[in-house]
Structure 1
């Protein structure tokens, strides 16, 4: 009878040890699969300066950033102090500057986060334009930008304030102000 009782206790202990080992192994597998899906950088670059040429061989777009950090899990890229230049054939280029940025893995969406400045210099037949806003969504391939934030635009002595904006930066340039638009225009006598 004692041998049977020791055999039962031994079997229960053996089952308990086996169950514990099985649970430990399952937990380890769960942690390793979670670690594989973790959003970690696989490389970074400092002092980035990249120019994309158009079909005729002239500069089309230029992206400069203090630091670029790439993430393998979704192929996205984070940018520190990005500066985007969109060149126009016959006019001064558009310059867009922000505090930080995020570029999707397919390159279709660039989110410029924090304070954003959009500037175009004056040229013969072209007025200067300076826009201040926040959190700009850019579609680089289409030269399109938009924001839902407050927008302040200045051109010479004229100014416009609005809530939200869409801009098509290719010819013909179009700017659509979305809400609460107020403007002040200076007329030269």
Structure 2
């Protein structure tokens, strides 16, 4: 009987080790993430981000700065969550339009950017230029185009226009308010 005892102990220890490797108790290894949680993990996080984008002639078209960019890469698309994003559009070598907001989401390598929370678009140089305010706007930076279906307020000095929905062609300095337009104008 004594010759079997060491063999039984060794087999029991190997079995226990294999069992712990295959299904370890959560107290020893911590909770494993679900597949959904694992898929949502960011691929890259950049703090104090500064990016520059150039046109086909090689001159600076626009720049995007953000307190934080959290980048996710999916099978067929990508997404970047932006914290405190700022976009500055250039005409020639001078800044022309500046956007700020609380948050933003850039889709498909920045082809479409949705800004949310106290969005402001101001004509440069400040003060004195046109100022647009809304809660959400979609920008296509490469086309220098912006649109929203939300309430928009446009001010230029003492003049104020408010309406619902907007299309802004920033390169042409042209803005269209789509409906429910109300304006107040002070003559010089």
What's the TM-score once normalised by structure 1's chain length?
0.73
Q: Are the structure 2 counterparts of residues 160 and 69 from structure 1 closer, same or farther at C-alpha, using a change threshold of 3 Å?
A: same
Give the equivalent residue in structure 2 for 1:78: 81
Task: Tell me the number of residue pairs that the alignment of Structure 1 and Structure 2 aligns.
Answer: 154
Task: Give the Cα separation in 1 of the matches to 2:95 and 2:63.
Answer: 14
State whether structure 2 residue 103 is matched by structure 1 residue 114.
Answer: no
Task: Structure 1: state its 5+ residue gaps.
Answer: 1-30
Any conservation in 1 of the 2:66–2:82 contact (CA below 8 Å)? yes
Matches within 5 A, 1:4-83: 34-35=35-36, 38-73=39-74, 74-83=77-86
Task: Structure 2: state its 5+ residue gaps.
Answer: 1-31
Task: Give the Cα separation in 2 of the matches to 1:167 and 1:187.
Answer: 25
Q: Deviations over 1:10-43 (max 9, x none)?
A: xxxxxxxxxxxxxxxxxxxxx9994597222111
What's the TM-score once normalised by structure 2's chain length?
0.74
Report the secondary structure of 1:170's partner residue. Answer: helix
Structure 1 residue 58: deviation in Å? 2.5
State whether structure 2 residue 184 is matched by structure 1 residue 181.
Answer: no
Runs of 4+ in 1 over 6 A off after TM superposition: none
Task: Give the Cα separation in 2 of the matches to 1:54 and 1:164.
Answer: 29
Structure 1 residue 56: deviation in Å? 3.4
Q: Deviations over 1:35-60 (max 9, x none)?
A: 59722211100000111122333321
Task: Give the Cα separation in 2 of the matches to 1:93 and 1:155.
Answer: 15
Give the equivalent residue in structure 1 for 2:4: none
Matches within 5 A, 1:91-102: 92-102=95-105
Any conservation in 1 of the 2:60–2:93 contact (CA below 8 Å)? no
Give the equivalent residue in structure 2 for 1:19: none
Give the equivalent residue in structure 1 for 2:156: 155
Any conservation in 1 of the 2:88–2:95 contact (CA below 8 Å)? no
Any conservation in 2 of the 1:122–1:128 contact (CA below 8 Å)? yes
Structure 1 residue 61: deviation in Å? 0.4
